[in-house]
Structures are given as C-alpha cells and as structure tokens.
Amino acid sequence: MKDAISNIELERQRLQNLLDRSRNKLERNKLGQFATPYNLAFEIIKCTNELLNLTDKISFLDPALGTGSFYSAFLQVIDNERIDTSFGVEIDKEFASVAESLWSSTGLKVINDDFTKLTDNKIIKKVDLLICNPPYVRHHHLSEMDKTRYVQLVKSTFGISVSKLAGLYCHFIFLSHRFIKDNGISVWLVPSEFLDVNYGAAVKEYLLNYVELIRIHRFNPEDVKFADALVTSVVIWFKNRKPITDSMVEFTAGNSILKPSNTIQIERKNLISKEKWSCIFNNGHTVSNNSNAPKIKDLFYIKRGIATGNNDYFILSEDEIEKKGLPKFFFKPILPSPKFIGSDIIQSDIDGNPLIFERHFVLDCNLSKDKIDKKFQKLIDYINYGETKGVSLGYICKNRNPWYSQERRESPLFVCNYIGRENSTKAFRFILNKSKSIVTNSYLGLYPKPAFFKFQKSDPKISIQILEMLNSIESNDVIKNGRVYGGGMYKLEPKELENVELNLPANFIEYNKPTTQLTLFEPEKSYIAKDEIDSTKY
C-alpha cells in the first residue's frame, strides 16, 4: 500500500508543477495558491501523529486540499486500518479534478466548493484531524462583501471581532471550528505575521480562550518554506476543547519540527492576545507596550515617507531635470534608497540640498495646468507625457488633486529604513538628516516633538547624541517590535518603531524623577508641512 501511495505522490508532484506553471504569479497570488512541499507535509503529519490516539480510527479533513500534499503524507504516516473517512475541500476546479483523479481510489471524498460557504451537511461528520495550509490571500484581494460575511460569521459564532485587514487564512481557522470533533486535533501551516500584527489578536484570542493551544513552531526566518511566497511560516497545533487555566503552551523554533533548535514552555495564563508573540521563540517573553521606560514616541512623531505613485516618473536626478528643461523650484530634494547613503549624517548645502554623491528631486506642483505660466511649457509637456503614459491613472495619483502633487510633508530630522535584513549589518539604521530632503515610503521619518528644540538650543550637540543613542539600540530590541518575513526580512511600521525603548542621554532626564513622571514632551499635534512654493506667485 505504501509503495502505491509513493507512486501516486510522484505523479501528484508532477501534476502540481504543471498546474503551477499554467498560472501566472499574480493569479496564484490572488487565490493564495502556495502548495505545501511534500517533505514539510510529511514532517508535520509525523509530528501530529504523536498527538493522536494510536488505537482509535481517524477521520481526516483538509479544507484547502490543493492536489493533496497533506493527504498523501497522511496515508504514508497513518496505518491504513486506522483511517476512517477522509475529506478534502478545494475551490479551484482544476485542482479539485486532479485531486479526485489521484486519490478517489483511496477513499478521499473531494468537494469542489468554497470552504467558507460550506454547510455542515456536505461533510458527513466532524473529523478527528483537520490539517490545512489555508489560502494566503491578503485582505486587499478579498471583496468587501466577503470580508463583511467572514467578520459577521466569526462575531456570531465566537463573539470575537476580527479586523477587515485580516487575511483569508485567519478566517479559515475560525470557520473550520465547526468541523472538528470534541478533542479533535487541528493543525495549521500559516504565515507568522499573525503573532505580531493587530488583526492577529483575534486569532490569538481564539487560540487562548476557545481551544487548547498545544504548540506553535516557527521556522527560521531565513528558511523560506515556499519558494514563491516570501513569508516566515509557523505551524499551530491545538485540540478542540476548553483550555485549562494552568496548561502549558510549547513554543519551538528551528528548521526541523521534529528536532527544534529551541523549545520554550509558557503557561497559557501568561499569554495575552494583544501582545506580540514572535519574540517568545527567542527569550520566552511577549512584547508589551505598557512598559514605563522611555520610548522613541516620547521624542518623535513618526510617519512613513511619501508614496509618489510612480517613482520613475516623479523622482529625477539633477541632470534629468536640466535635460528636460523643467523648473527646479517645482522639485523637492528627496533621499535615495538607504543602501546609497554611506554616512549616518547627511550634510546640507546652503540651499538645503543634501551633500550626497547623486542627488534626486521629486516633482511636487500643486498648481492646476491652466495656472501654470507659459514660461513653464516644458513642465506642461512633462505632465502631458505622464498622462499619455497612464501615470495619472494609477491608484495613488488619481486620488490626488492635481495628480502631480505630493503629500504635504516636511523633511524629517532623523530617518530609519522601513524594511531591512539582519546580516553583517543591522536590519535597521538611523540617519541624521540635516538637509531639507523629504523621503519616500522606504523610510520612516522621525519628527522631533517640541521640547527637543528647547534642548537643542541649550546643547547644539543633542542631535548627535540622539543619533548615537538610536544607533546603539540592540538589533533585537528593535526587531522584536516589528515583524519578520521569509528570507530574514524585517519590517517596522510607525507604531512599532514608536514603542522601541530608549536609554535617554543624562541631560534629558532629571535623575530624581521616575520615568513614569517624565513630562518633557507636549501632547501630539497634527504635523502639517508648509508649502515651500507660494502658489500665488505663479
């Protein structure tokens, strides 16, 4: 029997490759079709077998079957006499047809349907083992109608409020609950992002309060399990029964599930759904935002850089601006990618332009075309060229008026890259910006709060001190506040950078005051830039 399954598995892999090649990357991305590698499926099933009753019959369900990678591994690991009924749900007709042709002789019932719309009577009975690599479909590929339906279903079933920013994989976890027997095992191969992002709190609430969470294993961030999806993956095991207050949850990490490189046991009662969990795999602690220690948000307002809508069109070098005969005063200096900036301090010329090897400028004109003087005919020509090329029809541009203007933004005093890798250098680096340069959304801009300037008047070197302080923060202390993706790529959103803790220079704090009484900075105010060009002059 096992030899026959092995032969079917070889054919399955061949057909899987053909199906994958028949769809382009965008099509597969929209449907979240990232097939589970067989070796990974086998290891997950082998580990899961240790949680199953070794004598009882086992019924099986995969709500996102694909061509049947998990089912193939299930047949290899579980003795045939232990297998009861088996079901697989697959929304894609071609995949369902392939799975049917491969596995129907083994007793698998393939259901070609949308799992999120499945009614109980289509599956004869609840199962002992539900295992799934759900579609990795991001929220922006989901219709508003479907998002609303998912959210309402979860709310009515569990009373849990799920954000509409949640990916489809989150909803699959909730909606599968009704198909698992009492004490049945559920296993999920999903992106690790739910551990840290805001919408993941709903999933963690479910895992802590509605089922017995057994284990979460995170693969090394550098180890991408899906060649065509840059995500860090985790495997979740839980049992469908009410959790015990003092039960333990196992957090393991490493490239092998069966032989993890790190294992940490945490009492369930010490886990909080609204805290970040990814750092548990390293130090056994969640990240809380309730610490009284000074944080970056005590010093700065933080904003993402501007999204131009088309960098190739809007951002030009000095030579390009001159060759096109465009008026320089409709361009603002803008920093290039962090990899092109060698120093941690960007000096400025007398006009506020950055003293770097190659300077770039972004087009930013808020005048209507009919108000642009004839002496700016070259600018009119360039705007018309952008319209001919469809730049004005892009999502960002078409929602601006005029489309060739930019967000209102001042130059930040400090900048930090928004995304980075931890290799021979730190993933995140801070730069002191002494120029008038603004930044693209590859950066986070740090805008000083009012009291910062008061200190700067009394001590002109304060900016250098703050720069040294920011770059002396340990990598792990920054990374733990953000999120990680496949290939060891880390990302920080503004609110995540805000909560990085600081060791403030001594001249910032009166030592006889505890940090809980630190009131150096005024309440946050909206940060609105002034126009650098007075439109009434033209």
pLDDT tens-digit series, residues 370-384: 888 778 999 999 999
The C-alpha atoms of residue 382 and residue 325 are separated, in whole angstroms, by 10
Q: Give the closest residue to 58 by CA, choosing from 67, 71, 69.
A: 71
Reply yes or no on whether the pLDDT at 240 is more than 80.
yes
* Burial of 81 (C-beta count, 10 Å sphere; 0-12/13-18/19+): exposed
Q: What is the pLDDT, as a whole number, of residue 177?
A: 94
**Strand pairing category for 248-253 and 212-218:** parallel
Read off the pLDDT of each residue in 344-349 and give the average, rounded to a whole number: 93
Mean per-residue pLDDT, 214-226: 76
Kind of pairing, strands 489-491 and 483-485? antiparallel
Share of the chain above pLDDT 70, in %: 85
| Contact partners, residue 512, CB within 8 Å, separation at least 6 | none
Higher pLDDT, 425 or 400: 400
- 173 touches 206 (CB < 8 A): yes
Superfamily of domain 2-283: Vaccinia Virus protein VP39 (3.40.50.150)
d(CA 359, CA 337): 11
What's CA 192's distance to the chain center, in Å?
Answer: 9
- Which residue has better confidence, 502 or 183? 183
Question: Please, what is the Cα angle at 151 between 149 and 155, to 5 degrees?
Answer: 115
Average pLDDT over the chain reads 85
- How high is the pLDDT of residue 514? 37
Higher pLDDT pick, 331 / 503: 331
Given a contact cutoff of 8 angstroms between Cβ atoms, the answer to whether 527 and 410 are in contact is yes
pLDDT of residue 422: 74
Q: Where are the domain boundaries for CATH 3.40.50.150 in the chain?
A: 2-283
pLDDT at 64 over 90: yes
Beta bridge partners of 213: 238
**pLDDT tens for residues 471-518?**
988 887 887 777 776 666 788 888 888 888 887 766 565 433 333 333
Picking from 302, 297, 304, 303, the residue whose alpha carbon sits closest to that of residue 521 is 297
At residue 186, φ and ψ (nearest 5 deg) are: -125, 135
Joined tokens for residue 475: 């990598």
What number is the average pLDDT over the span 91-99?
94
- And the tokens for 442? 């590859």
Task: Give residue-wise pLDDT tens across range 121-152.
Answer: 667 679 999 999 999 888 888 889 999 999 99
Instruction: Give mean pLDDT, residues 76-85.
Output: 92
Distance CA 83, CA 80 (A): 5
